[in-house]
Structure 1
């Protein structure tokens, strides 16, 4: 009863709409992969990288289904809270501590990725500390204001970003050459599957954020519909980006760190459409602000629920400072970051974001069946 009363006290008072949830999912996943994912996929699958998106969507769908199912069984609770009910108090708390570490590490990676991107394109002489601190202080303020404020801000930012992409997509289609997609499966299906590993393990599984955001949804009944629409939009959007990158740059895409940025530079024309890559930079900065804000919110929420702190806002400031330190310390250079994102994170992301929640669902199902079978 004590555990249940504590969970009741920690029920979310803030609420987000279904539209806000859909936009948060879309921005969270798309924001940091739009410029980098084509290069990683083409590196393995070459001209057939667009086919890799078909198998890569599977993990995201599994993650989505798992969290929707668990949220129906434990309405109003986050994964931190219902994992203790499924695994028991101590095992659940250990899992909660692991997720605290996971989100802290993820924020450090996101922020240093943002900092390296800005240093490469705009501010090469700026200290790493300045880039990390600037982003995280703003995100910390957003988190203190609450997920409702973040959702409302993103509800404005995401459509603005998408509208700004329309002229770029039109120009890219005009420059695209379908011949660069050949030969079709020239090296068989194995390279296609290899190209699917990174998006499947590292990015599509980021539907994982549902484990913390669903309790804040004001209409739980629309959770599945909204999540499916957002995930479909993400899949179609990434498919178009990868396809157009290949049809414009060919296999050169696999050798570029920010391939979409190169596409925008290539299709830029004189006059009012000059310097199109500025739009890509704006997309990255705005999207990353939302992504880091949501991640920092989840980190603060996780810590407060593991340590049974009544208000997560009480720990926003110290966790923001710790995240600044972590982002500076985690990688020495951009090469280490790229190796981590391409070869380490996909495995860890798949285990943490899909396999562990799936295991929770299986254990909970077995326990429920065992209870029902008792005389």
Structure 2
């Protein structure tokens, strides 16, 4: 098997962090941080860099193993209990992501198709992707992440004529409390990057690649949110449910291409499916670590079905799912910041007792 490169890890990191963050973070961040909402990404990104570094450093003490294997090796019973907690955490993430994409597809592309059918189709595709293993996600990230970067860069250039600097007035009146609240909403989505050291072995995972991917994805989201506010204005960015998508809709190249957004959505959609597929992949890996007799590959379909059912069960409608972003950080930061600190201390190298005589 070919060696996983640093570039592939970096692109996978960007795929996992930014694919659905456009749809969920921009509106609540603009509501609280106003014209400086993009700065919140810098604060939350710094917090997640610390979390990822702690987990990567803890994993580095166990050469050739991922963090799950290291936890189970050091704490056979309590370690599996902790992984079971992470299992529930990533189950909720998978269910939430399925519902996010299903609601977005229903509101933008297929208005008359029931959410149930859309969620089922999304889940089936994600399960099929996850059965391909880590190589499938690396392939998707290598193809579609550069395409999305190129497309959004071109969109940004075309949007420069619609930029209104006066939307950011007052420029230097920073509401640090509002910026901190914006970081509170963004941190759970950026913090999901902890999945990488959990499932990718030490031989393949490189700390520098993970940190680079996190930083680049954070700066990318920073730029897109800033452009959204400069083009659409702060009040409108905070009121729209999918303000990142609405930015794309503002672009009209010619009178005959008034739905250019459909082309962009078509190029973006595989990254969102890849993100959900990776959620299921992490879920199956956790199941295999908690119950060693289970086959992770054979559990992809049951795990996907469970995530799909939970996506329907947990959220009554799209508004309820969107409003959950206001309380989700309280739960997510326990797994993405508090427990990494605990693991960094708990997996400290044991002192070797000197041999007597």
CA distance in 2, matches of 1:172, 1:217: 43
Assess, with a 3 A threshold, how the Cα gap between structure 1 residues 20 and 349 changes in structure 2: closer, same or farther: same
Alignment of 1:102-251 (within 5 A): 102-186=89-173, 188-200=175-187, 202-215=188-201, 218=204, 220=205, 223-251=206-234
Q: What do residues 101-155 of structure 1 show as CA deviations (whole Å, max 9, x unaligned)?
A: 1111111110011111011111122122211111111111122221112212321
SS in 1 for 2:270: helix
Task: Give the Cα separation in 2 of the matches to 1:291 and 1:157.
Answer: 12
Aligned-pair distance for 1:15? 5.7
SS at structure 2 position matched to 1:74: coil
2:58 — aligned with what? 70
Q: 1:80 is matched with which residue: 35, 46, 68?
A: 68
CA offsets 1:309-331 (integer angstroms, 9 cap, x no match): 36411222222222222222121
Deviation at 1:273, TM superposition (A): 4.8
Going from structure 1 to structure 2, the CA distance change for 1:15 and 1:216 (only over 3 Å counts) comes to farther
Unaligned runs of 5+ in 2: none
Indicate yes or no: 2:337 matched with 1:357: no
How many angstroms does 1:253 deviate by?
0.7
User: Is the CA contact 1:38–1:241 (under 8 Å) kept in the aligned structure 2?
Assistant: no
Q: Unaligned 5+ residue runs, structure 1?
A: 1-12
Runs of at least 4 residues off by over 6 Å:
372-375
* Bigger mean CA offset, 229-238 vs 273-282: 273-282
Instruction: Give the Cα separation in 2 of the matches to 1:50 and 1:354.
Output: 21
Q: Distance in 1 between matches of 2:354 and 2:38?
A: 48
Does the CA-based 8 Å contact 1:14-1:146 persist in structure 2?
A: no
Alignment match, 1:57: 45
Deviation at 1:283, TM superposition (A): 4.7
Please say if residues 26 and 243 of structure 2, whose CA atoms lie closer than 8 Å, have aligned partners that are also in contact: yes
Q: Distance in 1 between matches of 2:202 and 2:352?
A: 30
Matching residue of 1:5:
none
CA RMSD, Structure 1 to Structure 2 (Å): 2.3
The answer to whether 1:262 aligns with 2:246 is yes
| Offset of residue 67 of structure 1 | 2.1
> What SS does the aligned partner of 2:319 have?
helix
Task: List per-residue Cα deviations over 1:252-306 (Å, max 9, x = no partner).
Answer: 2111111122222223242465323214422542221110111111111110111
Structure number with the higher helix fraction is: 1
* 3-state SS, counterpart of residue 31 of structure 2: helix
Kindly state the Cα deviation for residue 185 of structure 1 after the two structures are TM-superposed: 4.5
Matched, 1:29 2:29: no
Match of 2:292 in 1: 308
Aligned pair in 2 of structure 1 residues 361, 91: CA closer, same or farther (>3 Å)? same
TM-score with structure 1 setting the length: 0.88
Q: Is the 8 A contact 1:63 1:207 kept in 2?
A: no
Equivalent residues of 2:98, 2:311 under 8 A apart: yes
Give the Cα–Cα distance (whole angstroms) in 2 for the partners of residues 282 and 75 of structure 1: 40
Note the 1:253-292 alignment, pairs <5 A. 253-271=237-255, 273-292=257-276
User: Aligned partners of 1:250, 1:372: CA distance in 2, in Å?
Assistant: 64
The answer as to whether partners of 2:71 and 2:347 remain within 8 angstroms in 1 is no
